[in-house]
Amino acid sequence: MKKNILYINHISELGGGEYGLLNLIKAMDKDKYNLTLLLQNEGPLSNAVQKIGVRVRFIKMRGWRKIKNVPQNYLFTLPKIRKMVKELKIDLIHCNTYRLNPYSVLVAKSIGIPCITHIRWFTRKDHIKKFKLDKADLLIAMSDYMASFFKNSSCNVRTIYDGIDIDKFKRTEKIRRKIRKELNIDSDKFLVGMIAQITPRKGHKDFIKAAALVRDTLPKIRFVVVGGSIIDSTLSLQELKDYAEEVGASNLIFLGQRDDVPDIFSALDCFVLPSHTEPFGLVVIEAMAAKVPVVATCSGGPEEIIIPGESGILIPIKDPNAIANAVTKMFYDKDFRNHSIENAYIRVRDKFDISKYAEIMDETYRKMF
Q: At what angle do helices 320-332 and 204-214 cross, to 10 degrees?
A: 60
291/65 Cα distance (integer angstroms): 44
Same domain, 347 and 357: no
210/345 Cα distance (integer angstroms): 26
Same domain, 209 and 265: yes
Same domain, 27 and 143: yes
Find all residues with CB under 8 Å of 152, minimum gap 6, and list them.
none
Find all residues with CB under 8 Å of 196, minimum gap 6, and list them.
202, 204, 226, 227, 273, 275, 283
Q: What is the maximal distance between C-alpha atoms in the chain?
A: 65
Neighbours of 227 (CB within 10 A): 23
- 41 bridge partner residues: none
**Helix/strand/coil for 3:** strand
Q: What is the pLDDT of residue 232?
A: 62
**What's the Cα-to-Cα distance from 106 to each of 49, 88, 246, rounded to whole Å?**
26, 17, 51
Same domain, 20 and 150: yes
**What's the Cα-to-Cα distance from 313 to each of 206, 276, 320, rounded to whole Å?**
16, 16, 14
Cβ atoms of 362 and 29 closer than 8 Å: yes
Cβ atoms of 48 and 26 closer than 8 Å: no
75/67 Cα distance (integer angstroms): 14
**Amino acid letter at 294?**
V
Same domain, 172 and 288: yes
Same domain, 92 and 21: yes
Total number of domains in the chain = 2
Q: What is the pLDDT of residue 52?
A: 95
Same domain, 156 and 171: no
21/15 Cα distance (integer angstroms): 10
Query: Burial, 368: exposed, middle or buried (Cβ in 10 Å; 0-12, 13-18, 19+)?
Result: middle
What is the domain extent for residue 32? 3-163+353-368
Q: What is the pLDDT of residue 67?
A: 81
Same domain, 121 and 196: no
What stretches of 15-72 adopt beta strand conformation (E)?
33-39, 55-58
Same domain, 293 and 190: yes
CATH code of the domain containing 54: 3.40.50.2000
pLDDT per residue rounded down to tens, the chain (369 residues): 899 999 999 999 888 899 999 999 999 999 999 999 999 999 999 999 999 999 999 999 988 878 888 888 889 999 999 999 999 999 999 999 999 999 999 999 999 999 999 999 998 999 999 999 999 999 999 999 999 999 999 999 999 999 999 999 999 999 999 999 999 999 999 999 999 999 999 999 999 999 999 999 999 999 999 998 876 678 999 999 999 999 999 999 999 989 899 999 999 999 999 999 999 999 999 999 999 999 999 999 999 999 999 999 999 999 999 999 999 999 999 999 999 999 999 999 999 999 999 999 999 999 999
Same domain, 157 and 170: no
Candidates 351, 366, 26; CA nearest to 160 is 351
**Amino acid letter at 263?**
D
* DSSP string over 45-58: HHHHHHHTT-EEEE
**Amino acid letter at 133?**
L
Same domain, 10 and 98: yes
Query: Burial, 311: exposed, middle or buried (Cβ in 10 Å; 0-12, 13-18, 19+)?
Result: buried
17/287 Cα distance (integer angstroms): 17
Q: Write down the pTM of the prediction.
A: 0.92
Q: What is the pLDDT of residue 73?
A: 84
Q: What is the pLDDT of residue 234?
A: 85
Helix intervals (H) in 112-236: 127-130, 144-147, 173-183, 204-214
Specify the DSSP class assigned to residue 153: S
Cβ atoms of 4 and 36 closer than 8 Å: yes
Same domain, 158 and 134: yes
Question: How many degrees, rounded to 5, is the angle at CA 230 between CA 228 and CA 233?
Answer: 115
Q: How many CA atoms lie within 13 A of 246 on its CB side?
A: 9
Q: What is the pLDDT of residue 65?
A: 79
289/281 Cα distance (integer angstroms): 13
